[in-house]
Amino acid sequence: MSEPSVHSPVTAIPGQKIDPTRVYTIEATSVQTGQKTRLQYTDCKISGHGSFGVVVAARLIDGDVGRVALKRTKQDRRFKNRELQIMKITRHPNIIRLLYWYYEPSGKPEEVYLNLVLDYEPETIFRTYRIWTKQQLRFPEFLIKVHMFQLCRAVSYLHSMGICHRDLKPHNILVDPRTCKTTLIDFGSAKVLREGEANVSYTCSRYYRAAELIFGATMYTHQLGSTSYPDTIDMWSIGCIFAELLQGSVFFPGSSGVDQLVEIIKVLGTPSPDQIKAMVPNYHDRGLPHIKPTPFSKLLPRASPEAIDLLQNLIVFDPSQRLSAAELLAHAFFDEIKHPGPSGTGPVLPGGERMPPMFNFSHHELSIRPDLVNRIIPSYARREIYIQHGIDLSKSWQPIDLRTVRVDDIID
């Protein structure tokens, strides 16, 4: 990898401060063209930081992109960066868009800094629902449906490509407060999961970590026909996010790995030997205390029956019993946002705005579960999509062979 000559706002952070009036110039590679291009930024400020590195919000001077986010992470020269490889090949309206990337010297011969230039959204679903709870108000279930449907679209797309996100949480879900457009971010933990290949069990943020990971599972794909799917730990995380939005606080607030398991058992009860075997086949029973489960309906008394049913099909010990993201999109919980409404083009948001595009499915997405398309996409939107993709409504259409879009052989 070449060493560009750059003056970047991400490295120019004296005392965690950036001069917002300064213009920074970098040379970056365009995702769209694959060519090097000169970019200039100004109006820069730090918008996030953590173990991964730093995120800076900035305004791109040239072009029509406007505000962007620059994410910097350390990169070992000897290896490809999994996050970059995944983001270069994902194209989905509910997944953050990578625009450019570039490298910077780190001062160490074996390391460089990788900088990702991304679309910018100012809010997270975490801060959004907290606005309601701080006023002692419930986050409206209608908005939960709007946001969760879009999240499940993104995750269903990833899983169809063999990619597991492995860090789904409210802080990694961006939202536009006005339109409710929802965007999944942070692919630093994402990985292509292959059948029979061991993975680390210490992944996912603790509150959203699947029970089998706490038990030490390293194999977390499931087989459907001849294809393995990397979805089970992500679907547990989605269940935890969903429960958090309904409750207004973290659903399993464990203070440690062990305490996290205690919090889970308080709700689901002690797992049976068969459930433990389904999570970790070689786990030796260490005499877990017997605790009875607590019904979700008791913990969330104001949640709708459809919401409770959805949770019961996500937050379960046996990974094979969890709904997939595509199955979740077809769940009755989302029926309300599929009604045509007075205009015949769908319901409106509480403030009167139209919902963001919810059903603009690609041919790829239609092919994930063709048997569920009629339940996922309402009839008023389905005809338009079929015409867009050149699908003859009078004939049975041919789905894409998803084996051709899986990325098993692309990412190291």
Catalytic residues: 167
Angle between helices 232-247 and 305-312 (to 10 degrees): 150
Say if strands 222-224 and 227-229 run parallel, antiparallel, or are unpaired: antiparallel
Write the single-letter amino acid at 295: P
Closest CA to 331 of 318, 349, 358, 313: 313
Nearest to 240 by CA among 187, 292, 179, 299: 299
Helix (H, G, I), strand (E, B) or coil at 179: coil
Token pair, residue 360, equals 């603009």
CA distance 119 to 115: 13
DSSP per-residue string spanning 4-45: ---B-TTT--GGG---TT--EEEEEEETTT--EEEEEEEEEE
For residue 211, give every residue at least 6 positions away whose Cβ sits within 8 Å of its Cβ, in sequence order, or none. 236, 261, 264, 268, 271, 279, 317
- Give Dmax over CA atoms of the chain in angstroms: 65
Burial 46-80, CB ≥16 within 10 A → b, else e? eeeeeebbbbbbbebeeeebeebbbbbbebeeeee
SS3 140: coil
Residues, the chain, total?
A: 412
- In three-state secondary structure terms, 227 is strand
User: What HEC string does 67-87 produce?
Assistant: EEEEEEEEEECCCCCHHHHHH
